[in-house]
């Protein structure tokens, strides 16, 4: 049968009946693939308004950048064409696949399969660190993607010489179900929103689901009911107004900000800063909004619904699960969580969703054994058993470096490694899988038990020869290159290009399976990484993360030193970033002593300015790393005078602050910090107001505050 006829018959069949959402791959020369796609959609989706082209298009219309996917969350199309000749973005592939409605089609345009892994991707320069992106190796991610495309029975493949695939039928039971009609889960959700309007205050309702489960329609239908009864004004917020188009569509209400009973969109930052009155607040795509803003909105508004996607396209969905839900548990005991599982925008067993979930390991990981024990793959792994250089209780474990070759060749190992990273860290995204397989500067170290990967660390090489020619530009602030996060940060901060010239490793992630935590495996893995780094001539190990007392304690226990504290809170974690380091040579150790002195001076200087709202426990722990200073006899005398006087602490604050800092600088580990130190740091170092101190330490008033501070000074 003629190839053109086969394609046309398939397309006409798809137009004439209802099928599952599917993926079609058009593989061939760029111009041919683009024209083929244009011909195809003219049959399947004749309406231009129902088609979204991502990347270059043959009609020369302004292209939609793959990087612009956030703007399209919440929109719907019959067909999405993703032109991979314009560049691959894993986050974008996942995001745009979620915009396709039932019976829709996602079309990927790509080079011939034998050429695609060697294709020079226009977006690759933004994925890899400076100096590494020029390394010419076939893309392991693309090889894996091609393999999964070819073995998937539900994916259609079109080349200049062949056609394979079929339209996947929807079961008769599913066809009898009316899409976009409410499910029992949705009805429960709508009822919960209606009850929230008149129920107890300060009991947030959280709705979580994968895409297509009807979160937006549930919000819209609930809003329509409440407004129709003339009982409510509802404000809805989201990262972008386009995110909530479906909510307004289901509410069937025109936006009218001046109406007493209406649904109105307000941007998150404007909502925090402005004086808005509302009966209910809907926060859609909550996982993509900084948690500091979410906390402010929960504090400001008493009746709040938060809607979040489970699989965030930048890892933010996991951030909501790992970070924000525990916050709700601690601060809002009456909060309620509802999970929507049944798809309403497409049919159950959706082909497109299942395909991308498999590709990006979004499904639950299993511990299926690999065909050969992990520790026997000597040609692909360098490592050591736990009884060599480690404590006796690590004898059953192996500590290894897992090569990219092994990750690419073993789906089971890749799945275990990536699942650990997803489940342990809020910022692991589909793009990270692409980098894990392809980025030459990244390495994976693992702790294994038999065939199971139970601990993993992701390492990124920084500094060294790649930055030699741009080192001065980095130091003077005129140049900033991709990657090399800590190396550039320290070089600029310390005005010393030594930090970009030395070869160093940054520990990006470290994760241990739940069942094996608190067994010191993460510390043992760090020990193995350190030994390997020294063998390879690495002079410095670093890491950068959102600082918490628990994390700081872990790293300092492993002899990492705090080197630089950020000023702004991270948008996802709502924590201030901390750079830490561990020298592996005497020369580096000498260099870091100077950095520590600078860290100490800046920390105390900024404590009452940029760090006034920081967690007091965290700041106190950081201050134990301050450079010790001798106190003058006059300062000692002032402290003694304060202890015997009846004068409030503010009159002696300068001397008392110096005294507290000197005491903290002598403490070697957090367990030695006197409990009384925290109120002293909050009052004398952070300079918090009396009102804030009374609230934070649950005191009756200023009198008790002054008494507690005096007692604390006497004790420490």
Please report which helix (H) or strand (E) contains residue 404, including its range: helix 404-409
What distance lies between CA 47 and its chain's CA centroid? 37
Whether 192 and 286 have beta carbons less than 8 Å apart is answered as: no
Candidates 619, 613, 602; CA nearest to 670 is 619
Query: For tokens 């006087």, what's the residue?
Result: 645
Backbone angles phi, psi at 459, to 5 degrees: -115, 145
Residues of the binding site for acetyl-CoA: 510-512
Q: Kindly give, in sequence order, each residue whose CB lies less than 8 Å from that of residue 43, ignoring residues fewer than 6 positions away.
A: 8, 11, 12, 15
Distance from C-alpha of 154 to C-alpha of 279, rounded to nearest angstrom = 47
Which tokens go with 54? 């991502």
Cβ burial 194-212 (10 Å sphere, 16+ → b, else e): bebbeeeeebbbbbbbbbb
- How far is the C-alpha of 487 from the C-alpha of 440, rounded, in Å? 17
Residues in Cβ contact with 270 at an 8 Å cutoff, skipping those fewer than 6 apart: none
Give the Cα-Cα-Cα angle 543, 548, 551 (nearest 5 degrees).
50
- Here the tokens at position 405 are 């070759």
State the Cα–Cα distance between residues 613 and 143, nearest whole angstrom.
48
SS3 category, 282? strand
Binding residues: 186, 345, 510-512
Contact 152, 313 (CB under 8 A): no
Helices (H) and strands (E) in the chain, counts: 28, 20
Cβ 584 vs Cβ 534: under 8 Å: yes
Question: Which phi-psi region, left, alpha or beta, contains residue 443 (left: φ > 0; alpha: ψ -120 to 50)?
Answer: beta
> Which residue stretches of 278-349 are H helix?
291-300, 316-319, 325-331
CA angle 479, 485, 491 (to 5 degrees): 60
Q: At what angle do helices 616-623 and 586-606 cross, to 10 degrees?
A: 140
Write down the residue that tokens 């010191």 correspond to. 520
Label residue 230 exposed, middle or buried (CB < 10 Å: 0-12, 13-18, 19+). exposed
| Secondary element (H or E) of residue 75 | none
Dihedral angle sign, alpha carbons of residues 351, 352, 358, 364: negative
Give the residue ranges of the annotated binding site for ATP.
Answer: 186, 345
Beta strands per DSSP E along 99-227: 100-110, 155-158, 163-164, 205-209
The angle formed by the CA atoms of residues 130, 136 and 141, to the nearest 5 degrees, is: 90
Return the number of other C-beta atoms located less than 10 Å from residue 51's C-beta. 21
Pairing of strands 336-340, 381-385: unpaired
Dist. CA 461–CA 677, nearest whole Å: 39
Q: Which residue has the tokens 């079609």?
A: 24
CB of 591 closer than 8 Å to CB of 583? yes
Backbone phi, then psi, for 128, in 5-degree steps? Answer: -110, 155
d(CA 509, CA 543): 9
Pairing of strands 263-265, 561-569: unpaired
Q: Which of 515, 682, 713 is nearest to 611 (CA)?
A: 682
Give the residue among 681, 659, 685, 665 at the shortest CA–CA distance from 605.
685
């Amino acid at each position: 049968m003629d190839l053109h006829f086969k394609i046309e018959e398939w397309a006409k069949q798809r137009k004439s009946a209802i099928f599952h959402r599917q993926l079609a791959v058009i593989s061939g020369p760029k111009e041919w693939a683009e024209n083929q796609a244009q011909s195809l959609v003219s049959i399947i989706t004749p309406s231009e308004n129902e088609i979204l082209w991502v990347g270059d298009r043959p009609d020369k219309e302004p292209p939609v950048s793959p990087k612009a996917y956030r703007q399209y969350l919440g929109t719907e199309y019959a067909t999405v064409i993703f032109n991979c000749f314009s560049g691959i973005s894993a986050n974008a592939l996942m995001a745009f696949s979620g915009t396709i409605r039932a019976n829709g089609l996602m079309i990927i345009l790509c080079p011939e399969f034998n050429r695609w892994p060697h294709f020079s991707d226009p977006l690759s320069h933004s994925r890899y660190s400076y100096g590494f992106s020029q390394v010419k190796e076939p893309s392991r991610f693309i090889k894996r993607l091609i393999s999964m495309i070819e073995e998937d029975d539900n994916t259609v493949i079109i080349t200049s010489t062949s056609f394979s695939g079929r339209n996947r039928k929807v079961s008769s039971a599913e066809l009898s179900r009316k899409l976009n009609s409410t499910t029992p889960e949705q009805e429960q959700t709508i009822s919960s929103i209606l009850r929230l309007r008149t129920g107890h205050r300060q009991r947030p309702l959280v709705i979580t689901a994968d895409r297509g489960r009807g979160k937006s329609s549930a919000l819209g239908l609930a809003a329509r009911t409440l407004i129709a009864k003339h009982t409510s004004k509802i404000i809805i917020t989201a990262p972008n107004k386009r995110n909530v188009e479906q909510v307004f569509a289901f509410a069937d209400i025109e936006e009218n900000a001046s109406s007493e009973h209406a649904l109105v969109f307000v941007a998150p930052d404007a909502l925090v800063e402005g004086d808005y009155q509302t009966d209910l607040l809907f926060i859609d795509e909550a996982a993509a909004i900084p948690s500091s803003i979410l906390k402010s909105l929960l504090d400001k508004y008493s009746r709040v619904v938060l809607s979040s996607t489970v699989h965030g396209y930048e890892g933010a969905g996991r951030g909501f699960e790992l970070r924000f839900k525990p916050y709700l548990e601690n601060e809002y005991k009456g909060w309620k969580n509802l999970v929507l599982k049944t798809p309403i925008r497409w049919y159950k067993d959706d082909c497109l969703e299942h395909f991308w979930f498999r590709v990006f390991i979004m499904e639950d990981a299993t511990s299926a054994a690999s065909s050969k024990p992990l520790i026997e793959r000597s040609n692909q792994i360098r490592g050591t058993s736990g009884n060599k250089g480690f404590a006796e209780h690590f004898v059953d474990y192996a500590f290894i470096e897992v090569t990219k070759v092994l990750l690419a060749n073993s789906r089971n190992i890749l799945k275990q490694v990536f699942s650990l990273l997803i489940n342990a860290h809020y910022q692991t995204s589909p793009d990270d899988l692409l980098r894990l397989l392809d980025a030459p500067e990244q390495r994976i170290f693992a702790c294994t038990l038999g065939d199971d990967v139970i601990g993993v660390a992701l390492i990124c090489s920084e500094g060294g020869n790649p930055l030699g020619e741009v080192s001065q530009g980095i130091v003077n602030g005129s140049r900033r290159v991709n990657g090399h996060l800590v190396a550039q940060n320290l070089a600029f901060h310390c005005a010393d290009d030594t930090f970009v010239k030395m070869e160093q490793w940054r520990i990006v992630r470290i994760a241990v399976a739940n069942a094996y935590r608190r067994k010191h495996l993460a510390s043992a893995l760090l020990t193995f990484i350190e030994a390997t780094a020294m063998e390879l001539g690495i002079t410095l190990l670093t890491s950068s993360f959102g600082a918490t007392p628990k994390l700081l304690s872990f790293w300092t226990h492993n002899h990492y030193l705090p080197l630089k504290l950020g000023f702004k809170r991270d948008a996802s974690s709502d924590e201030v970033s901390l750079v830490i380091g561990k020298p592996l040579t005497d020369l580096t150790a000498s260099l870091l002593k100077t950095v520590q002195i600078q860290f100490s001076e800046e920390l105390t200087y900024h404590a009452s300015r940029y760090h006034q709202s920081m967690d007091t426990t965290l700041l106190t722990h950081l201050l134990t790393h301050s450079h010790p200073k001798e106190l003058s006899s006059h300062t000692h005398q002032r402290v003694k005078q304060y202890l015997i006087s009846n004068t409030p602490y503010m009159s002696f604050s300068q001397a008392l602050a110096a005294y507290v800092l000197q005491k903290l600088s002598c403490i070697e580990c957090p367990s030695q910090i006197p409990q009384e130190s925290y109120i002293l740091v909050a009052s004398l170092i952070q300079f918090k107001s009396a009102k804030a101190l009374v609230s934070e330490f649950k005191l009756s008033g200023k009198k008790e505050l002054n008494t507690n501070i005096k007692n604390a000074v006497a004790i420490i």
